[in-house]
């Protein structure tokens, strides 16, 4: 049962791409979702298929091995994957909206040539900003980088790093001069086999369980100077502007979660009988379906609008924050309502809605909590000149 947005908002190319991703998700990913969730492990062969389909380099120009498509196309891919499995979606989301985007916008030509082809064809990337004592206060990070001849030596720990278990390439933020505060923060490109770098424990999470979330340990980690992304001391700017784009991706993930849950709820309402009729004929159920569909469409429009603005080169800071805020709040509400439509069955793992519900909660936490989005929106409205 399809609750996708109207095709009139998509070009023919976009519609074909969306349908390709949807077919792949339904045929290749869906059969493994329950097992991957229970085992908290994503199948490596599915990651390889992401590369083969070009899903890990959607916006990367062809000269670097990507498909040369738009940011909006990457957002469509995230939505369609999340409709089936939010864990699958976040691998593609982080790769495209954070890692690749960061390199495309801030890296020099040497870094682009060395790393983008790998990120498009074989190497999973991860984005390492958060630390044990540095979450919403991202620029209070304690990881340090000390200059030593032709390289920097990094020491510190990173936490909550998505895709870390599978990643070979990491964008790591460290402070080269704590006396300068956030103006000492610098972005480094770190490879998994660099001396002094290690991936630590994997978190046992409530939702998106098949997506790995790990700590990183840097103990005298040696990073060549040529692996600095952007300029020394400009890491805070790299991080802020990259995360602004990443929030649109999280919004797309929440839209996909809502879509999958609503489709499951509608299908069940047309099959389940009580008091001699299908429950879809009861006004109470109809109202819940109608309200959920409205929240879904509003969220999708916010996300699509932010993505279109980004592709058009226009300001999208406020729109990205609004898209993430609204879609994550209502993803939790919509998935909860769908559990209620299923009744007791919805509370069991036999049906898919409990997983959609668990997966939805993360949207209000990562890549900027809901409170941080509210702060961003308010500051933009009140103080932007």
Q: Domains for the chain: give ranges and CATH numbers.
A: 7-123 (1.10.540.10), 126-233 (2.40.110.10), 237-383 (1.20.140.10)
pLDDT for res 231:
95
Q: How far is CA 78 from CA 14, 112, 158, 253, 369, in A?
A: 13, 23, 25, 6, 20
pLDDT higher than 60, residue 119: yes
> What pLDDT, on a 0 to 100 scale, did the predictor assign at position 4?
80
Cβ-contact 279, 269 below 8 angstroms:
yes
Residues 184-210, buried b or exposed e (16+ Cβ, 10 A)?
A: bbbbbbbbbebeebebeeebebebbbb
Q: What is the average pLDDT score of the chain?
A: 96
pLDDT given at position 342 = 98
Q: Which of 80, 215, 319, 367 is catalytic?
A: 367
Residue 385 has pLDDT above 60, yes or no: no
Name residue, tokens 């309200």: 291
Stretch 1-10: mean pLDDT? 77
Say whether 147 is catalytic: no
The residues, ordered by sequence, that sit 6+ positions from 275 with a Cβ below 8 Å of its Cβ are none
Per-residue pLDDT at 314 exceeds 70: yes
Q: Is residue 8 over pLDDT 80?
A: no
pTM of whole model > 0.85?
Answer: yes
């Amino acid at each position: 049962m399809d609750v996708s947005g109207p095709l009139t908002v998509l070009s023919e190319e976009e519609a074909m791409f969306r349908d390709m991703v949807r077919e792949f998700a339904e045929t290749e990913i869906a059969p493994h979702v329950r097992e991957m969730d229970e085992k908290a492990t994503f199948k490596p062969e599915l990651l390889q298929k992401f590369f083969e389909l070009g899903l890990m380099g959607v916006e990367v120009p062809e000269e670097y091995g990507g498909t040369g498509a738009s940011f909006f196309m990457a957002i469509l891919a995230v939505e369609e994957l999340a409709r089936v499995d939010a864990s699958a979606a976040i691998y593609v989301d982080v790769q495209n909206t954070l890692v690749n985007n960061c390199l495309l916008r801030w890296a020099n030509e040497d870094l682009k040539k060395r790393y983008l082809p790998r990120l498009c064809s074989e190497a999973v990337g991860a984005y390492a900003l958060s630390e044990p004592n540095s979450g919403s206060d991202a620029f209070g990070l304690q990881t340090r980088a000390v200059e030593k001849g032709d390289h920097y030596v990094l020491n510190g720990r990173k936490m909550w790093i998505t895709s870390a278990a599978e990643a070979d390439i990491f964008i790591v933020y460290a402070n080269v001069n704590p006396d300068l505060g956030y103006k000492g923060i610098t972005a480094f490109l770190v490879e998994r086999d660099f001396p002094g770098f290690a991936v630590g424990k994997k978190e046992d999470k409530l939702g998106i369980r098949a997506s790995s979330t790990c700590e990183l340990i840097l103990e005298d980690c040696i990073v060549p100077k040529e692996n600095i992304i952007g300029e020394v001391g400009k890491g805070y700017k790299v991080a802020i502007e990259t995360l602004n784009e990443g929030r649109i991706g999280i919004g797309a993930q929440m839209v996909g979660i809502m879509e999958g849950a609503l489709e499951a709820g509608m299908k069940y309402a047309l099959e389940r009988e009580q008091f001699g009729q299908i429950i879809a004929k009861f006004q109470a159920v109809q109202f819940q379906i109608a309200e959920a569909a409205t929240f879904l469409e509003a969220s999708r429009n916010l996300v699509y609008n932010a993505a279109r603005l980004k592709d058009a080169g226009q300001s999208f800071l406020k729109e990205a924050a609004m898209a993430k805020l609204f879609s994550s709040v209502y993803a939790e509400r919509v998935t909860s309502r769908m559990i209620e439509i299923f009744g007791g069955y919805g509370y069991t793992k036999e049906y898919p809605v409990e997983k959609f519900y668990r997966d939805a909660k993360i949207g209000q936490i990562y890549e900027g909590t809901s409170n941080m989005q509210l702060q961003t929106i308010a500051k933009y409205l009140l103080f932007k000149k």
